[in-house]
A and B are shown apart, each in its own frame.
Chain A
Amino acid sequence: MNIKYDEVDKLLTCQITEEIDHHTTEKIRRILDDEIERYIPKRIVFDFDKVSFMDSAGIGMILGRYKMIRMLGGSVEMINVKSNVRKIFEMSGVHKIIQIN
């Protein structure tokens, strides 16, 4: 995972660099929660450029982080989402809640 924090904009960018499934979400979730709690960002961007595979485990993982960030008063967006991953977000309606650019 590549994490970047911009102090001025309070922007946290998280580039996920592995396949997302039940096995990998446990670790990804732990890292993200630590970073979010540390910075309390105003905006968080999840970069999916390096995510070649995601199953339903990713839906719960992203929605869980979304709820947490919203509770802290921040906003969420996703970028560079590949078509096979986008299909899963669209099927579950996640794209209506979180902006995919």
Chain B
Amino acid sequence: MENKVKLELMSKSSNEAFARIAIAAFVSQLDPTIEEIADIKTAVSEAVTNCIIHAYEEKEGIIYVTCILKNREVTIEVQDNGIGIENIDMAKEPLYTSKPELERSGMGFTIIDSFMDEMKIESIVGMGTKVTMKKTIK
């Protein structure tokens, strides 16, 4: 079984809820548990919010969210053409945030890493960032 959906979103905070609900609805065809769906919703929300706050710094931009289902494995890619990440290892550190003045806690990547089975971050400064996350539905 293979299935795929692709969303293109304007970088607006009101789209955060739409993105996580749309992906959760798509994944629901695999009959996940309530906890698995909650984990996926949170991970999508973290990655999309990062595009809005960090990649585009609350300015205009497009966010691409792709979700692929292959047997019981869910792969979600969240991509932006924003400012990019200079030091990915540092960005992944729990509690590291470049925007403490916005009351950010620096836990987004740590949450994705722990709620999903796999997380991969690819980024080029000035070009953009792609976060790929995978989770197998039991």
Contacts and interface: CB of A to CB of B under 8 A. Distances in A.
Q: Do A and B come from one complex?
A: yes
Interface of A: 19, 21-23, 25-26, 29, 53, 55-57, 59-61, 63-64, 83-84, 88, 91-92
A61 B107 CA distance: 13
A32 B108 CA distance: 24
Contact of A92 (B17, B38, B41, B105): B105
Contact of A53 (B41, B49, B114): B41
Contacts of A29: 103
Contacts of B105: 56, 59-60, 63, 92
B89 interface: no
Interface in B30-87: 35, 38-39, 41-42, 45-46, 49, 52-53
What does DSSP make chain A's interface, helix, strand, loop or mixed? helix
B110 interface: yes
Given A55-B46, A56-B108, A22 B13 contact: yes
B111 A19 contact: no
Given A19-B17, A91-B114, A59 B107 contact: yes
Which of A19, A57, A60, A88 has the most chain B CB atoms closer than 10 A to its own CB?
A57
Contacts of B94: 92
Contacts of A26: 13
9 contacts: A19-B17, A21-B49, A22-B13, A55-B42, A56-B111, A60-B104, A91-B107, A91-B111, A92-B94
Given A23-B13, A56-B108, A91-B114, 16 more contacts: A21-B16, A21-B17, A22-B53, A26-B13, A29-B103, A53-B41, A53-B42, A55-B46, A55-B108, A56-B107, A57-B49, A59-B105, A59-B107, A60-B104, A91-B110, A92-B107
Nearest to B45: A55
A29 to B, nearest CB: 8
Nearest to A82: B38
B14 interface: yes
A22 B103 contact: no
Contacts of B103: 25, 29, 60-61, 63-64
B131 to A, nearest CB: 14
Nearest to B103: A60
Contacts of B95: 92
